[in-house]
Amino acid sequence: MKKLTIAAALAAATMLAAPAHAGSDDGKIQVKLLATGVLPDGKVSAVNKDPLGLTTGANTYASDNVVPTIAVEYFFTPNVSLETICCTTKHHVNGTGTLANTNLVNDVLIIPATFSLKYHLPLGPIKPYVGAGPALFIMLDSKPGATAAAAGVDSVHLSSNLGAAVQAGVDVPLGKTGFGLTLDAKKYWVSTTAKFYAAGTEVLETKHKLDPWVLSGGVSYRF
């Protein structure tokens, strides 16, 4: 997270330091510096292995997070572009139902690698858009939560999975300098399989819906 924050700060400094004449509201490349809210689901969608019946009457949810995000976009035409984003986001997974008030998984670190093919509606200077594309959620790390650790779980593995995303948003140019404001909303459909281990033995395997809403707002520079 610290490295990403430093990268975002450097990107912002570069955008602000760029000479005004280098920017254009119809340039081929657009860079965005965003504040992004990641709002995952986290519910159990399937139980693959539960010999002790730990999930009976229980479910889970994942915590929300706000992170800095950098988006880079290339325009093939004035109306068609390809965008990718860079960020990491960290979450905790807690229990509900018969597992209410329990802490099951901590520090789930995710890279939501996303590519979106976007269409920008030709409606004048304010530029709404829609998009869709594949998303690979790369799970970098996770740790047993306090409740799971107290029950003997010493490691948790969450699988990296491929999913899909749709998005909609709007870009608002600030004059003809290339600078602008942007709002964006993405909806993802992606799952992960969680495996819980105690002394090297798998004691529980569950599949979870991540399916987050990802809501962003910030500044852009096009050139």
| Predicted pLDDT of residue 139 | 97
pTM across the whole model: 0.87
Q: What is the pLDDT of residues 175-186, one digit of tens each?
A: 889 999 999 999
C-alpha closest to that of 106 among 167, 21, 196: 196
The percentage of the chain sitting over the pLDDT mark of 70, rounded to a whole number, equals: 91
Is residue 170's pLDDT more than 70?
Answer: yes
- Let me know: does 148 contact 196? Beta carbons within 8 Å: yes
Domain 2-17+25-212 coded CATH 2.40.160.20: yes
Say yes or no to pLDDT of 4 above 90.
no
Question: What is the per-residue pLDDT across 131-146, written as a single tens digit (0 to 9) for each?
Answer: 999 999 999 999 999 9
Beta-carbon contacts of 187 under 8 Å, excluding residues fewer than 6 positions away, are: 165, 166, 167, 211, 212, 213, 214
How many angstroms separate the CA atoms of 179 and 196, rounded? 48
Burial 172-208 (b: 16+ CB within 10 A, else e): ebeeebbbbebebebebebbbbbbbbbeeeebbebbb
Is the pLDDT score of 168 beyond 90? yes
pLDDT tens per residue, range 54-75: 889 999 999 999 999 999 999 9
- The encoded tokens of residue 89 equal 């986001």
Helix, strand or coil, per DSSP, at residue 147: helix
- pLDDT interval class at 6 (50, 70, 90): very low
